[in-house]
Amino acid sequence: MRSRYSAFARREIDYLLATHPEPDVPEQQRRRSLERSCRQTRWLGLTVLSVSGGGPRDLEGTVQFEARYRGGVLRETSLFRRRDGAGNGPWLYVGALKLED
């Protein structure tokens, strides 16, 4: 979670694409969307509220967080899984389980 937040704040589009596979969406479309989002958003800080799973032997985990940006706060519970279900694979962002107001 922290690495993806940092990538958003630093506009590291390649890392964001690599850690959130979306096979049904063309990469150029995803890239343009991320570039636009990163240009428009000034991130101010991240607070991890809770973590479930995600340990060295886990294949899945969730993170509840608040990410502050100029103009508001994004509150989300995110699902992460290891690439290809491999116990030593990198963590990938699967998606939001819950967005909060």
2-100 maps to CATH 3.10.450.50: yes
* DSSP character at residue 14: H
| Alpha carbons 95 and 78: distance in angstroms, whole number | 6
Nearest 10 degrees: Cα torsion 76, 81, 82, 83: -100
Residue for token pair 């991240």: 46
- Its pTM stands at 0.89
What pLDDT is attached to residue 101? 64
What pLDDT is attached to residue 29? 97
| Alpha carbons 42 and 22: distance in angstroms, whole number | 24
What's the number of CA atoms in the CB half-sphere (13 Å) around residue 9? Answer: 14
Each residue of 40-91: pLDDT tens digit? 999 999 999 999 999 988 999 999 999 999 999 999 999 999 998 888 899 9
Residue for token pair 């995110």: 78
